[in-house]
Amino acid sequence: MAYKPQYYPGTTSVGKNRRKHMSGDLEKLRDISDADVVTVMGHRAPGADYPSTHPPLKEMGEPDCPIRQLVEPTPGAAAGDRIRYSQFADSMYNAPSVPYWRSYWGAINCRGADPGTLSGRQIIEARERDIEQYTKVQMDSEMTDVSLSSMRGCTVHGHSLRLAEDGTMFDMLARTEMGSDGKVSYVKDQVGIPLDKKVNVGKPMSEAEVAKRTTIFRHDNVAFGGAQGARKFDEGLIALHHMWERRSRWGFRPE
Amino acid sequence: MVTKSDTETVQIEIFPRRFLNPDTAQRLLDEIYRSGGVLRIMIQGPNLPRAVPYGPGKGLPIEEHKNMLLELGDQAIELRVKVGRIGLELESEEDIEGVRAACERTLPFSFDIKKRQLFHTKPTVSDYAKYGSEVEDKRILGMVDPKAKKERNLAMLSDSRGDS
């Protein structure tokens, strides 16, 4: 039987969602055009040429190296693109891809990417045309809810704050706005520079929907330690304790 | 046993489940002010900068945060935060119910009201640096951040001292 990665333990909806994110088996919920994704990222104008940091690999005459022969370069690396990034902040109020899960998705599913998780934000860096593609997957799929997640290159504050009255995550730079039709639009790019044209990213999910799709354990949704009064640890927690114990033991007594 | 005097003030904090839009905050403060017994009001929340503070867009104005005013009594103060908590000092315990009723009328979501000491009673080192050794009106203690400008962030709605 072929090996099938398990990614993450647990039988709860959160465990299942975490597995989905890590495996990249994601449901596509919306279709944001490439030009709109590029606009919100703000690194180049849509349709403009990709600036490069080195000539295409084919023209460079690479050294004879078995690894280079083995690993096919990503389109961005082959063309010599710049390294660029996209960074998302995701609310702790049941955002679908709370910290670490975008990074795990990136580390497992994106070639030539450098993901990183900080407090309340997740960044993925890659060659420009690669990161544009990876960002589009994130924005189009169930990893993103348009009111609880947003692309924020700087001034990312919002993950652990209460939501605004309209249910959107707090944004100090007011990059997104909720229209009277209930749809969310980006009015600024990820670093807060106003856009010429709004980028409509559609309607947010309902509260029930985000509760179903989230990857965060919360006492008011799916609790880590089971329901109150009926403690039953999720398999994820048992696995975590197991790893913690082993790591501590190895840390203290490596033999 | 210590008997509380009739004139002892009470401090409470209103903690709504969501951040308030400026117009909701205005309506809530109007209702609270009308309910009476308010000695001090303090508004807290995350900063709403007037310009992009970091990154490639540094210095660009944020139009959405401009011209947000809170009007109370005959004073207006520029709203520079997303309203997240409202601290109040009330004349007496009985005034809490009026505030609670005002919140219930105004807020479309749940809220908590906690009784706690919000404002410090003695001048701190920061107060000494800000106001000098003699603080004439003790009501200003603890009302603004040490680094904030008093003139910009503090408004006196009445000159009558609450405890006199």
Confirm if A35 and A45 have CB atoms less than 8 A apart: no
Inspect the interface and report whether the beta carbons of B19 and A162 lie closer than 8 Å. Answer: yes
Residue A188's pLDDT is 96
> What letter would DSSP give residue B51?
B
Residue B80 structural domain: 4-119
Is residue B157 in a domain? no
Which residues 119-158 of A have a C-beta within 8 angstroms of B?
153-155, 157
In this model, does residue A242 exceed pLDDT 60?
A: yes
CA pair distance A19, A6, nearest whole angstrom? 7
Is residue B148 in a domain? no
Look at strands A226-227 and A230-231 and give their pairing: antiparallel
Q: Kind and range of the H or E element at A85?
A: strand A83-90
Measured between CA atoms, how close is A25 to chain B, in angstroms? 33
The percentage of chain B sitting over the pLDDT mark of 70, rounded to a whole number, equals 91
Q: Nearest residue of A to residue B46 by CA position?
A: A172
Inspect the interface and report whether the beta carbons of A155 and B109 lie closer than 8 Å. Answer: no
Angle between helix A101-109 and A128-140 (nearest 10): 130
Residue A139's pLDDT is 97
For residue B6, with 0-12 CB atoms within 10 Å meaning exposed, 13-18 middle and 19 or more buried, which class applies?
exposed
Is residue B163 in a domain? no
Confirm if A129 and A76 have CB atoms less than 8 A apart: yes
In this model, does residue B3 exceed pLDDT 60?
A: no
How many folded domains does chain B comprise?
Answer: 1
Measured between CA atoms, how close is A224 to chain B, in angstroms? 23
Residue B161's pLDDT is 46
In this model, does residue B160 exceed pLDDT 60?
A: no
Interface confidence, given as ipTM, is 0.87
What confidence tier does A92 reach under pLDDT thresholds 50, 70, 90?
very high
Residues on chain A touching B83 (C-beta within 8 angstroms): none
Q: In b/e form, how buried is each residue of B21-53, taking b as 16+ CB within 10 angstroms?
A: ebebbbbbbbbbeebebbbbbbbebbebbeebb
The percentage of chain B sitting over the pLDDT mark of 90, rounded to a whole number, equals 55
Look at strands A149-151 and A176-178 and give their pairing: unpaired
Residues on chain A touching B19 (C-beta within 8 angstroms): 161-165, 170
- Between A253 and A9, the more confident residue is A9
In this model, does residue B5 exceed pLDDT 70?
A: no
DSSP codes, B91-131: SSTTHHHHHHHHHHHH-SS-EEEEE---S-SS--HHHHHHH
Residues on chain A touching B47 (C-beta within 8 angstroms): 172
- Between B77 and B31, the more confident residue is B31
In this complex, the residue of B17, B56, B62 whose CB is nearest that of residue A173 is B62
Is residue B54 in a domain? yes
In this model, does residue B2 exceed pLDDT 50?
A: no
Residue A4's pLDDT is 87
Residues on chain A touching B111 (C-beta within 8 angstroms): none
CATH of the domain at B76: 3.30.70.260
Is residue B134 in a domain? no
For residue B86, with 0-12 CB atoms within 10 Å meaning exposed, 13-18 middle and 19 or more buried, which class applies?
buried
Which of A172, A176, A220 is most worth mutating to test chain B (most B CB atoms within 10 A of its CB)?
Answer: A172
The average pLDDT across A115-128 equals 94
Confirm if B71 and B26 have CB atoms less than 8 A apart: yes
Mean pLDDT of all residues belonging to chain A: 92
Is residue B147 in a domain? no
Quick one: which of A214, A211, A150 has its CA closest to A178? A150
Is residue B52 in a domain? yes
Is residue B115 in a domain? yes
